[in-house]
A and B are shown apart, each in its own frame.
Chain A
């Protein structure tokens, strides 16, 4: 059977008419190949470009997420040692009850931060709990030198709004440490969170002494700018990841006579649902 088939093929090839036909078909194949080749090259090139862009996108995403992680990693030690210093101070002053109270609040706060530290974003609800714990800790440390209020927009769904953890902490810290320092000064911090068409606006207003703060800023220039830098870096990374805008701005508040009477900072970030 097989032998018959082969001899049949070789047989037909020897017919001259068929040879011409074959040459023509070879020519057609060659021309069509020549025509198709540039398309093929162009097509593979496009596929390659898309592949590379996707890969770059994934890599950039991973890089941004790592950056955010690194930024947060800078916040934690800074804050942890501030707390430990204060606890140490209480112990040295033999205020054992206060040191104990401090330590419990610190332990609560640290636990919540550690539990959430691997997450890029957390629910605003959770974040506000942590921020409140931080504010309570600062209140204790400063001997109730300030009070605070948190105002939330009614339209805001705190369980379904995702934010970077403790984004506002450096602003609060700045007010508490440098705005309310002088004796007999009753500080006030107002934290407002609003939702405005697909954006979240976070505003921190304080009545801290600005001039003193500027003095302190000059002395501890590095420390102060670190807090603000951390906020900007986080917002930049977040904006790039989401492909949307984020803003951060601070202003000095003036009273009727033009005197400094506090600071106001505003952060605008894209609304990102948790679910």
Chain B
């Protein structure tokens, strides 16, 4: 018989821990929940004792939060599925680092998807993305974003992205080094990731890095010239928002 995958659940709410544990044991016989932890401190001990392969980790906990807990470990030898109940900073951070998360309360189907991705070893290259997540969270070095490509992930610095342009369900990232990266994300999804990171959507199909604007020419909406000499139209309805953001820079 194949050895079971050992799982640890970390959540400060007892109801959440127990519900997840019973859901996992009734639907996934391949998994074995070896510890339920109510805090980062308990989790530190449990991780050392059990060396789990998978950890369900709540982000918002009193004391050390989920990010700080991971950051406190010397090395992360397991995959992580984050759980959170807020659609705020944390979810944006996960999207930027292309890391899966469960938004509580979540339906059975979301849980199955996350577990199946893990079982199919799709999470096994999670390490570099976890590093980015933690580095961005701690403001260590230059903030980076993980762009999913056909062969894996490309990690680029925010400040190297000049602008984004959408083509239906695809979005092209125009880089400082003249490279173009095509990502199978809609502009709306990219906007959700990049808002509050110095990017502003100025048009239905354009988003720009505010710090790389060279010139703005007034017009009905206006036109911006970017550092790569490209000229992008600002739509009439977005002009005010764009100028406000520019002022705040």
Contact = CB atoms under 8 A, between A and B. Distances in A.
A111 interface: yes
Given A159-B204, A274-B204, A104 B235 contact: no
Contacts of A274: 204, 237
Contacts of B238: 275
B231 to A, nearest CB: 17
B106 interface: yes
A275 B105 contact: no
Nearest to A111: B87
Tell me the dominant secondary structure on chain A's binding face: helix
Nearest to A126: B188
B32 interface: no
A160 B166 CA distance: 14
Given A103-B105, A273-B237, A275-B237, A160 B87 contact: no
A107 interface: yes
A34 B188 CA distance: 64
B203 to A, nearest CB: 6
B107 interface: yes
A104 B204 contact: no
Tell me the dominant secondary structure on chain B's binding face: loop
A195 B112 CA distance: 41
Contacts of A115: 87
Contacts of A107: 105
Contacts of B105: 103-104, 107
Given A111-B87, A159-B188, A160-B204, A275 B106 contact: no
Q: In the complex, which range does the number of interface residues on chain B fall in?
A: 10 to 19
A246 to B, nearest CB: 18
Contact of B203 (A103, A111, A162, A275): A275
A200 B105 CA distance: 36
A275 B87 CA distance: 25
B106, B188, B237 pick with most chain A CB within 10 angstroms: B237
A275 B188 CA distance: 13
Interface in B200-237: 203-204, 235, 237
Q: In the complex, which range does the number of interface residues on chain A fall in?
A: 10 to 19
A111 B87 CA distance: 8
Contact of A275 (B103, B107, B204): B204
Interface in B61-102: 87
Interface string A159-200: 110100000000000000000000000000000000000000
Contacts of A275: 203-204, 235, 237-238
Interface in B166-205: 188, 203-204
A104 B237 contact: no
Interface string A247-275: 00000000000000000000000000111
Nearest to A121: B237
A107 B85 CA distance: 10
Contacts of B235: 273, 275
A261 B204 CA distance: 43
Interface string B15-44: 000000000000000000000000000000
A260 to B, nearest CB: 40
Nearest to A101: B107
Contacts of B204: 159-160, 274-275
A165 B178 CA distance: 40
Contacts of A111: 87, 103
A172 to B, nearest CB: 23
B234 to A, nearest CB: 9
A128 B40 CA distance: 41
21 contacts: A103-B105, A104-B105, A104-B106, A104-B107, A107-B105, A111-B87, A111-B103, A115-B87, A159-B188, A159-B204, A160-B204, A162-B237, A273-B235, A273-B237, A274-B204, A274-B237, A275-B203, A275-B204, A275-B235, A275-B237, A275-B238
Interface of B: 87, 103, 105-107, 188, 203-204, 235, 237-238
Interface of A: 103-104, 107, 111, 115, 159-160, 162, 273-275
Given A275-B204, A275-B235, 11 more contacts: A103-B105, A104-B105, A104-B106, A111-B103, A115-B87, A159-B204, A160-B204, A162-B237, A273-B235, A274-B204, A275-B237
